[in-house]
Structure 1
Amino acid sequence: MATRILFLTFLAITSSLALASDPSPLQDFCVADPNNPLKVNGLVCKDPKLVEAKDFFWSGLNVAAAINNPVGSQVTPVNVAQIPGLNTLGISLARIDFAPWGINAPHTHPRASEILTVLEGTLLVGFVTSNTENRLITKTLNKGDVFVFPVGLIHFQQNIGYGPAVALAALSSQNPGVVTIANAVFGSKPDISTDILAKAFQTDPAIISNIQAKF
């Protein structure tokens, strides 16, 4: 009897866990239909009879992006917005180009973990653990090296070489999202109150106003 109760309890727990996870796709593919006005958690499927090879294709990841901006980097995303066939598949890519000493500023991906491969150059990368420790974990990467950034954690990359650098990132979402910390905090619309930010950063409101003006 005790064994039966234990088995039923285990079954109930595992069933609950299964219901809490994302469902597996129930068809071969669900090519996104961006013209459909219906809003769902993802994008509405295009009629499979109208699907073509171009729905699973995008070209241009070999092209270096312009990096003459204040941070010295540029991200070229390849997600469901570029390839409609990625809809429901839970994967995407991004190319990141760096000028010498350029940075991919501290940011998070709210819906994805990231695995980054250095194609050219030398990068200093890192992420910060959550508030229980706020521990910085960093590593210097060279060509061919790979590093993982866990979902939701603040992370960054910096080109520490004297020439351009290139990295390729794979992400565990068709639409991983990105929250660049400085842009979100100092460039929100409307502005977060200077009083709130001054207290949060333990500084003067005038300094906050000066930073906000840059964003």
Structure 2
Amino acid sequence: MTDDQRRAFANLMLLCGPHHELVDTRHPDDYPAETLLKWKAEREAAMGIDRNTLAGVTEESLIDAILKTIATAPPQRTATVELGLGLASPSGCLSFPVEIAKDFLFLDMYKDLGTPVLILTVRNTGALKAYVNNHSVHFNPYGAALFDPTHFLFNPRMPKQLDAGESSQWFYDLSLIATMVAVCRKKNGVVENLVAKIGLGSGEEFMSSPLPAVCLPDYETVPSTD
């Protein structure tokens, strides 16, 4: 085959990295061209793809089709949600790397910088204005959750308007979070991670990546805030 024939879309079959290595490098004799062509035909037929149409696709025509699709797509409302650890005060927030935060947040040398907190950050990554209506932190897989904390008077009120590119933060008392984890476990529950969830006024919901529970301080080592 020529290079043009080899890289033509009609000759293309997408595989994940491990299977690509298995088929093309480790055991190519187990996957002759006839087998791969059969797979390709079956998958394309299942997706309603016309092979004759695919044969006429070029790189230039594919790029042109993608650009036209993007140009005609309406503006999207999207947001990213992140969980972090740090110290919060009315004057600002100091964040720590989550991997080491629990070893430092409750030290006496930092006690004047603010309250140890779980930090919920929401950023509007879409092209439309968004309003954060609610947020919560979920203890997975146990199923418990904390909703819209009010113990920080300097937490932004909701609904919170976010223009495109803007972000906002809310704080959950880390002592309360650690206590919740301990309570769940005392009830024979399993808490592997925390996940934050937000709801927008338009109805969309977004979730954070999991924050491993091992990054949280143990309840027994957290000073009482009473």
Q: Same fold (TM over 0.5)?
A: no
Return the TM-score normalized by structure 1: 0.22
Return the TM-score normalized by structure 2: 0.21
Higher Cα radius of gyration: 2
